[in-house]
Amino acid sequence: MNLPRRRFLQLAAGAVALPALSRGASALDYPARPVRIIIGFPAGGGPDIVTRLVAQSLSERLGQQFIVENRPGAGTNIATEAVVRAPADGYTLLLVTGTNAFNTTLYDNLNFNFVRDIAPIALIGGAPFVMVVNPSVPAKTLLEFIAYAKANPNKINMASFGNGTAGHIFGERFKMMAGVDLVHVPYRGNPFPDLLGGQVQVFFVSIPPALGYIQAGKLRALAVTSAARQEVLPDVATVGEFVPGYEASSWEGIGAPANTPTAIIERLNKEIDAGLAEAKLKARLTELSNPPMPMSVADFRKFIADETDKWGKVIRAANIKLG
């Protein structure tokens, strides 16, 4: 049977359109079953708590369970690779964090490319750190600390949770921008006992675990690392007030395997942002020193690219190596 050319083209166009319509329909029906959010951190920590709050919000808004699955190990790379290898159907998501941005430079032989293989969905929030010192340090302000450090090069010990961790990298950026020499002391365990005892003198750490010590006068907060002052420490200046241009925060967001349908990504972005705007969730995240930072998919993609570039430069300049 010979079809007229116009009729043939109409039928061909219709055949091509069917898969697209099918994909669109499935996106409209999403989610039709429970969704997993895989995170590369142990249960009970800050990232885990934040993820579970967002998962609960999504479950309530979308009528399906969003289940948090902890897969710690290899600096979050085990969890990230699991999501990279998962079907791109919106039913396996990833908690993406600043650690992913660090790892792009810290690891030479990853089995994936984070920027290429994970599709950004939504930024949840940013968690600033606080720069604390043992009270024996004769500096009441950040300017006094910088002057003291310059007068005593390589005599002040800077603790961290290990090479390549956020506190280490944030501290190295401070050293570069403030022009001071501090001795990095990485810990496999908890640095707080040695910090309280004076064996190490300064520590860049997330606010929640340090807050009790600050309020009790056992540690002195010199500055927060965020661009703006924090509600929980309203009298503590930002590093940037004295070291112009300095800003450093950990952050959490949600991603998915590359090639996840755009309609699903956009719907998740919309629902996550709407949840973050609700008073109850907003207040809870703020209590955790992790104020919400909703943004569009495109803006989140740019944010990740900027963070990866920013911290990659610090890691290379400071010659930070794992181990």
H or E element that contains 19: helix 5-29
pLDDT at 30 over 50: yes
- Angstrom distance (rounded) from CA 268 to CA 271: 5
Lowest mean pLDDT among 13-17, 82-86, 179-183, 280-284: 13-17
In DSSP notation, 253-275 reads: EEEEETT--HHHHHHHHHHHHHH
Q: What confidence score (pLDDT) does residue 322 get?
A: 87
Show the domain range for 204. Answer: 128-241
Mean per-residue pLDDT over the chain, rounded: 91
Residues in contact with 138: Cβ distance below 8 Å, sequence separation at least 6, in sequence order = 144, 148
Query: Is cis: bond before 31, omega within 30 of 0?
Result: yes
pLDDT at 237 over 90: yes
pLDDT at 45 over 90: no
pLDDT at 262 over 50: yes
Q: How confident is the model at residue 287 (pLDDT cuts 50, 70, 90)?
A: confident
Q: How confident is the model at residue 21 (pLDDT cuts 50, 70, 90)?
A: very low
1 in any annotated domain = no
Domain boundary among 212, 241, 270: 241
Q: What confidence score (pLDDT) does residue 26 get?
A: 54
Task: Using DSSP, state whether 133 is helix, strand or coil.
Answer: strand
Q: What confidence score (pLDDT) does residue 323 get?
A: 65
The pTM of the whole model exceeds 0.75: yes
286 in any annotated domain = yes
6 in any annotated domain = no
In DSSP notation, 183-252 reads: EEEE-SS--HHHHHHTSS-EEEEEHHHHHHHHHTTSSEEEEESSSS-BTTBTTSPBGGGTSTT---EEEE
pLDDT at 183 over 80: yes
Same domain? 227 vs 142: yes
pLDDT at 62 over 70: yes
Q: What confidence score (pLDDT) does residue 22 get?
A: 41
Q: What confidence score (pLDDT) does residue 27 get?
A: 62
278 in any annotated domain = yes
Residue 137 is which amino acid?
A: V
What average pLDDT score do residues 260-282 get? 97
pLDDT at 18 over 70: no
Q: How confident is the model at residue 12 (pLDDT cuts 50, 70, 90)?
A: very low
35 in any annotated domain = yes
Same domain? 221 vs 150: yes
Q: How many structural domains are present in the chain?
A: 2
Q: Which CATH number does the domain housing residue 45 bear?
A: 3.40.190.150
3 in any annotated domain = no
Same domain? 77 vs 137: no
Share of residues in the chain with pLDDT > 90 (%): 84
Task: Using DSSP, state whether 3 is helix, strand or coil.
Answer: coil
pLDDT, tens digit, for every residue of 95-117? 999 999 999 999 988 999 999 99
- Angstrom distance (rounded) from CA 36 to CA 52: 11
209 in any annotated domain = yes
Residues in contact with 35: Cβ distance below 8 Å, sequence separation at least 6, in sequence order = 58, 64, 65, 66, 67, 90, 91, 92, 93
What average pLDDT score do residues 250-263 get? 97
Domain boundary among 241, 264, 279: 241
Same domain? 136 vs 234: yes
Share of residues in the chain with pLDDT > 70 (%): 91
Same domain? 168 vs 237: yes
Cα separation values, 205 from 65, 190, 233, 248, 289, Å: 33, 11, 14, 11, 12
Higher pLDDT, 21 or 104: 104
What average pLDDT score do residues 160-170 get? 95
Q: What confidence score (pLDDT) does residue 8 get?
A: 41
255 in any annotated domain = yes
What average pLDDT score do residues 22-43 get? 81
Same domain? 159 vs 91: no
Domain boundary among 185, 208, 241: 241
Same domain? 105 vs 189: no
